[in-house]
A = this chain, B = another copy of it.
């Protein structure tokens, strides 16, 4: 792994752990084993490096979700797989955790990966919900896009509750509750 690559990976890790405001170029360089000069050679500065790192993180997340949602099983099974997917809950969502940072939201290049990820995710989940309705698995008459948004939000909010509590149970409860509501829509 060359220096540029190590810088990106280190930035991804630190951004996940400490957020954008909490991540200093120095810390990234140290973790990457690269010097000042190296970093400022490959990137114009902190924001530039963060944009690259965030975009990569977002792409990875999207690929992971797509694997689940396009996998085998009925629509309901795939939605369940998305909700119950194993997650490192107490670390927070590597994408969603940045939504509350004003510096991220203010920089279009930094916000774009977030917007694209959730936009895509919501659309993709809505497709699966609609699929389930056509197949008669899920009751019709409920807006697929709204249900999809609720599912994504439950996951993102689950992270918030779990980190507030200091343990992962609230996440499991929230996704379990969403699942129960979804299942009720099936009968």
Contact = CB atoms under 8 A, between A and B. Distances in A.
Given A102-B18, A181-B185, A96 B150 contact: no
Contacts of A161: 99, 118, 122, 149, 152-153, 156
Contacts of A103: 22
A181 B150 CA distance: 9
A165 interface: yes
A164 B21 contact: no
A118 B149 contact: no
The A contact surface, by secondary structure, is: helix
Contacts of A56: none
A126 B109 CA distance: 41
A97 interface: yes
A62 interface: no
A66 to B, nearest CB: 18
A126 to B, nearest CB: 10
A86 interface: no
Given A165-B118, A165-B119, A148 B160 contact: no
A146 interface: yes
Most buried by B among A148, A150, A161: A150
A92 interface: yes
A6 interface: no
A97 B66 CA distance: 28
A153 B179 CA distance: 13
Contacts of A105: 163-164, 166
Contacts of A152: 157, 161, 174
A115 interface: yes
